[in-house]
Amino acid sequence: MDDRDLAADLERLQGLIGTRFSNTDYLLTAVTHRSYLNEHREATWDHNERLEFLGDAVLELVVTDYLFRTYNEKPEGELTAIRAALVNTISLAAASEALGVNPFLLMSKGEAKDEGRARQYILANVFEAIIGALYLDQGYAAAATFISGRLFHFTDEIVRKRLWQDPKSRFQELAQEKASITPTYETIMQEGPDHDRVFTIGVFLRHEKIAEGKGRSKQEAEQQAALRAIEVRGWGEG
């Protein structure tokens, strides 16, 4: 986003969100990463971290209310896990990308080059900041409408596929249900120096290796292996 195009781009972003802001400074702040202000000392507005803080709280309340009313048979523990799956970084980043905010992000040139996990965090944070901006500008109802339209349709899939469980727990439950076997995990390889170790771990059903996973900890590698094992077995649609 170029400084010369701020007004025009904010107009376009309001169109994507589906509402007009009384105070577009809220929206401008919502798309501004802290790093942008380090390179643009002339900017007269703030970065989005305070709006993100507010938006996170509004998001949690809106989602909690929806899950409480929709799944009245589920206990608190499952509702908490479903909520966590619905509002995690990956889900929020995907919702932010689907909204189309990428071209409107204000960040440093260095941050703009990063398309990996760091960008996911930025996108997720911007989504929460937009919620905070909506809440300040138009109130709770407008923020709730935005959240419901962007997130609630994912809930049925999360519940149906039990995506609220971590992959390792989910694969163990599926393996016991479908094959009467408890999975085991073995370290296949360790690479890199101590401060930057990468583990490769295999998941087995008895003596059959089903899949492998990699991670910077054994736990992360096991979760990746379990996730791939669910895909290999075709058990993800349960």
- pLDDT at residue 1, as a whole number: 45
- Give per-residue pLDDT as tens, 71-130: 999 999 889 989 988 998 888 999 999 999 999 999 877 666 666 667 888 999 999 999
Q: In this structure, how many other beta carbons lie within 10 angstroms of the beta carbon of residue 118?
A: 11
Distance, in Å, from the CA atom of 135 to the CA atom of 67, rounded to the nearest integer, reads 20
Q: Dihedrals φ, ψ of 86, to 5°?
A: -75, -30
Domain 167-233, CATH among 2.40.50.1020, 3.60.150.10, 3.20.10.10, 3.30.160.20: 3.30.160.20
With residue 108 as reference, give the H or E element that holds it: none
- What residues act catalytically? 56, 128
The residue ranges of every structural domain in the chain are 3-160, 167-233
User: What is the second-level CATH architecture of the domain 3-160?
Assistant: Orthogonal Bundle (1.10)
Query: What angle, 0 to 180 degrees and rounded to 10, lies between the N-to-C axes of helices 117-138 and 140-151?
Result: 140
Please give the model's pTM, rounded to 2 decimal places: 0.73
Residue 184 has pLDDT above 50, yes or no: yes
User: pLDDT over 90 for what percent of the chain?
Assistant: 61
Q: Evaluate the CA torsion angle 33, 35, 36, 37 in order and state its sign.
A: positive
